[in-house]
Chain A
Amino acid sequence: MAIKTAIDIRRVTQYFGEQKVLADITLSVEKGEIIGLLGPSGAGKTTLIKIMTGQLVPSAGSVMLDGHDMAEAKQEMYRNIGMMMDDLGFYERLSGYDNLKIFAGFYDVPEARVREVLEQVGLYRYRKSPVQKFSKGMKNRLALSRAVLHRPAFLFLDEPTAGLDPATTLQIHKMIGQMQKDGVTIFLTTHNMVEAEKLCKHVALLHDGSIVEYGEPQAINRKYNYRNRLKIHLYSGEDIELELQNAKEAAKTVFEYLQSGQIETIHSAEPDLESVFLELTGRSLQEGRQDAEEDWSFGKAD
């Protein structure tokens, strides 16, 4: 069976004034795939999402969704797009239910679907509370339920779990996984390498507006596993890393630890996406993140 290309980004470049924020981005996403765009703050992730959803017309290049050029056909395509941006855009005085009911009306979706999606995200029992009383996590879940209300073919998620507690993050991951099983093509941006490795079939690492690496997360990790290390955790709590270039020497060390019965666990120590990104760019994926989270936490409702 032929694999259908759902999202086709061709040589997209974006300038804001003199500043080049995206440089010659080319990506292809299969139907029903989750792709992750990883990069630190200011790398150009949100700009790319805005271009893909027709909110911005690129300075050069094109984005095709299901064969439709988003610079021209965006109005017709909106019916097939679900969005969850970092600024969630709710009518905060209204209840969660009323917020979704408004959008159900626009999409000609039966009201029963509002109940269904609120139940899916575990917010049905809070349906009458005004959104302004929701915590950050509840608002994110509500945003996700609004994004999928009309059963879109494409879902764009901009940092869907940023600043959330692990339990809520897990719940959102489950929902994203379920949507993928339902055949939705999902494009997500994140700082979170664990999230990317867990959810995404492919990831693209974005640095200063350019894609510096693309592929399956595990394949990328293996590709940059130059040093071929082994990590030993001892019962004493000590961690030891062995470089395997000198295999005889390493085997001898491991054997000695085994003989003395000190080893609790042994792991291969492949790099993760965070360390790959650091190696490629000299920057951390979390760069700029801490400041942003501190700014946000000042006003958060949790």
Chain B
Amino acid sequence: MKNTIIIYRKQLKDTGKNMALWIQFVMFPVMAAIMENSIRVEGMPEHFFVGMFTVMHVGMAPLTVSAAIISEEKEKNTLRMLRFANVKPLEYLCGTGGFVFTACMAGGVAFGFLGGYMGEKLLLFCLIMAAGILASMLFGAAIGVWSRTQIAATAVVTPMMMVFAFLPMLAMFNQTIEKIADIAYSQHIQLLLNSLNAGTPAEAKNVIVIAANVMIAAVLFGIAYRRRGLM
């Protein structure tokens, strides 16, 4: 536990000095806040921008950041030094994963307040966010572990995050894309948020698809870890 906390603190400090990563956490909440307060179009659903940017935040930030952190540590051989300090892979993953999760959830809570969610609704909103962030983070960690360099990780992460982040929005305009999006966790995060906003019960399918995505991401992470290892 001690080592996990040290890794968490290290990551907090390091990310604070890494503009490229730091911006991932704040970009979408800030954009949502600005647009919510500056753009008013008649007929536009209430908190339209919050809904749109929430899914982008879930699809992009955890994926990009976890892949970037792990691949950078591999590339710069800092993981090897951690190993010599007797840091176990699980401690490292918990510390780094814990940081990415809480930092992304902080953005999630900001979205919750921007969207006017309160009480039980805010709690449900955060749960939906947490499920999406977990799936995204696991996919990112799998890519980070698999990649030997940051450039290699970015080459995989960029198209993947574009798909997960923008698919739900594009699915609104095209039925074929909607069918494809039906297997992506981000689409079902969007659908769950729509249900929450409308006050209608969530469909079991939404939860099943998200859970399946989490499991696939976990399996991919397991394969990457066994084949390439952390150090």
Q: Could you tell me which A residues sit within 8 Å of B by CB distance?
A: 53, 55, 75, 78-79, 81, 83, 85, 87-94, 98, 102-103, 105-107, 130, 146
Contact = CB atoms under 8 A, between A and B. Distances in A.
Given A85-B77, A102-B6, A106-B6, A91 B84 contact: no
A83 to B, nearest CB: 5
B10 A91 contact: yes
Given A75-B86, A106-B86, A55 B17 contact: no
Nearest to B78: A89
Contacts of A130: 17
Given A78-B86, A79-B86, A102-B10, 18 more contacts: A53-B84, A75-B86, A83-B84, A85-B77, A85-B80, A89-B78, A89-B79, A90-B78, A91-B14, A92-B76, A94-B10, A94-B14, A105-B3, A106-B3, A106-B6, A106-B82, A106-B87, A146-B81
B2 interface: yes
A103 B85 contact: yes
A93 B15 CA distance: 9
Contacts, number: 53
Interface residues of B, number: 20
The list of the 8 closest CB pairs from A to B, nearest first, reads: A106-B85, A89-B77, A93-B17, A89-B81, A105-B6, A87-B77, A89-B78, A78-B86
Given A78-B86, A102-B10, A89 B17 contact: no
* Consensus secondary structure, chain B interface: helix
A81 B10 contact: no
- Give the most central of A85, A87, A88, A106: most B CB within 10 Å: A106
Contacts of B17: 93-94, 130
A107 B80 contact: no
